[in-house]
Structure formats: C-alpha cells, structure tokens
Amino acid sequence: MEKIVKPKLIGMTLDELQGVALRGKMPKFVGKQLAEWLYGKRAVSFDEMVNISKKNKEWLAENYQIGRTAPSAASRSSDGTVKYLFKVAGGYQIESVYIPDKDRATLCVSSQAGCKMNCYFCATGRMGFKADLTSAEIMNQILSVPPAPKRGEQPMTPLTNLVFMGMGEPLDNFREVKKVIDILTASWGLAWSPKRITVSTVGKLPQLKELLDDTQVHVAISVHTADTVQRESMMPAQKAFPIGSVMKLLSGYDFSHQRRLSLEYIMWRGVNDDIAHAEMLVKLIGNVECRVNLIRFHVIPGVELKPCSEERMLMFRNFLNSKGITATIRASRGEDIAAACGMLAK
C-alpha cells in the first residue's frame, strides 16, 4: 500500500494557511497564527504552538506536516563558507551555500534539483534536470540555515541576504519561487525587504517580465559573453531568449535607485577575456543602469575551459570602469568544498 504523504505547511501563503484552518473547521484567524509560528517563530513541531487549542493541533498533525527537515550533511570551507545537503522528494539531493561576511550572511538557495539550461560551463547544468522544488522545499533551506548551535557552539550569523543562485534556473520554476518571495517579504511572513533578495537568471522570458513587474527584488542576469554566436554555443538558452531581447526588456525598468541590476560574467582564458569582448559588452549594456560582476571560473570535470589570469580580469574591469560602467571582481568563496559559482551538483 502506497504511503500517503501529508501536505507541508511551510511554503504556504497566508491565504492557503487560512484555507487550512477553515478546512479544519477552525476560525480563519488560526491561519494567521500558523503563519506566525511557521515563519516568525520558526516552529518545528505543532506542540510549540501554544495559542492553538489541543484539538486543533491534533487535527493539524493528523492532516498536515510542518515540513521542516534538517540538512543531511554539511561541508565547511577554509574561508567559513558552509555547503549544506538537503534531501527532497523523488530521492534527489540539493545543495545550499551559507556565505558569512563580517556582520552579513548570505544563503545561496536552490530552486530545482538539476537544471534544464544545460550551460556548458556549469556543473548543475551538466547533470541535467531532475525536478522542480516546491515552495516548501525552498523555504526549508531558508528556515533551516544556519542551524541552531549545539551546546558550547557559537551561534552563526543569521541570514541577512538571499540569492537564488544555487541549483536550477529560478524562472523555470517561477510559480514556486514567486511564492517564496511573497513569504519572505510579507508582513505575515519573514517581513524582509525585497532588497535583501536577488534572483539570478539566464533571462527566461516572459517570466523575467513577471518578476520585474510583480516584485522589487534585485535581478542578476547570466551574460558571460556578449558574442551571441559564442553565447549560444555555451548557453543553449540564448536561442530561445537572446541576450539582446533580455537587455531590451530590462531597459524599460528603473535600476537607478534602490533596485539593482547585475550582469554576471564568468571569465575564461582566451575565450571572452579580451578588449574586443569588453567592447561588445559595453555595446550590449548601452544606457541600461547596471553593475557587472566579473567571476573567476571554477574548473569542473569534463569542461575544457580555463580561468583567465588576474591581470586579464583587472584589465577587463578597468576598461568597463573607464566607460562609466561599474564593474567589480567577485571574491571566490567555497571553492575547496565545491561550493563556488557553477560547482553545485548532486
């Protein structure tokens, strides 16, 4: 007999939680209490919910599960970065990366197991697509990291920022990612400013337009080369979502104030690291207000690409700066535990 899996409460919106309460013949306000326990107080059991009656908690436990599961493994880098492994439905495993930096802590969260985009240079893309994560599986990563300290341990810095830059293309699983953004930013949820959240994408249209219209989160576009022929050979998404069309869409939005647009640019030796490529990037950007993050390539098995030199990265950055474009070289974190950009694969 097939085991019945109870629906998970984390990952539900306030409307959905109120619907749960009404199905259990409870007052609608119990849905708001559930939201406070799940997101504000991060309860892991129904027993913690002291302002909900015993009868109602018993009904909830019979019909639902909270949905919190601890990481099944953790790897710690010499630079303080921690990579967490989570088990998800279907027997798959996904990874999240906790990146501390002084009084800040960023979680690089996964939205899929694997990825459909098949970018040549990315370990996640090369493993293929396995499954979309549910809003519950995405929220579990956020609520479970950093874990509570064990006795005698110093507590880790609580999360201050979130980047959808882990496994998967967030806009390929937009419905679930959007639910998570709503939970993160709602007053009944975690009440975060959307400026604490960045969504990274190859530029999947029309979901990118929905993200821009319906949220105020930061956006990061994976460009990596402005040479369209070269980009299509390395990023198959270029054929369906040309980077020129992506930039045209972005040009219709205001990124000159608090909302930030970043262009991600991994640099490979002898491939996209010369002045000609920098000039193509300047032309692509045009008058769009953005910053460029230059990223060191992290070698992965089966990929015949090499990192470019530090000198090339500096030259490229300085050239962009001279053209009035803010460009920075992103610090590499977690490479020794295969947690750096493009290395996540399980």
Q: Enumerate the active-site residues.
A: 95, 341
Q: Please, what is the angle between helix 275-285 and helix 243-250, to 10°? A: 40
Instruction: Report d(CA 11, CA 38) in Å as an integer.
Output: 9
State the pairing for strand pair 161-164/197-201.
parallel
Continuous H helices in 261-340: 275-285, 310-322
147 preceded by a cis bond (ω within 30 of 0): no
Q: How is residue 235 written in tokens?
A: 């990023």
Instruction: Spell out the residues 6+ positions from residue 129 whose beta carbon is closer than 8 angstroms to its own.
Output: 112, 113, 114, 115, 116
CB 225 within 8 A of CB 274: no
* Helix or strand run (H / E) with residue 266: strand 261-267
Residue 331: CB partners within 8 Å, gap ≥ 6?
none
At 6, which amino acid appears?
A: K
Closest alpha carbon to 13 in 146, 107, 134: 134
User: Which strand (E) or helix (H) includes residue 99?
Assistant: strand 93-101
Distance CA(345)–CA(8), nearest Å, equals 26
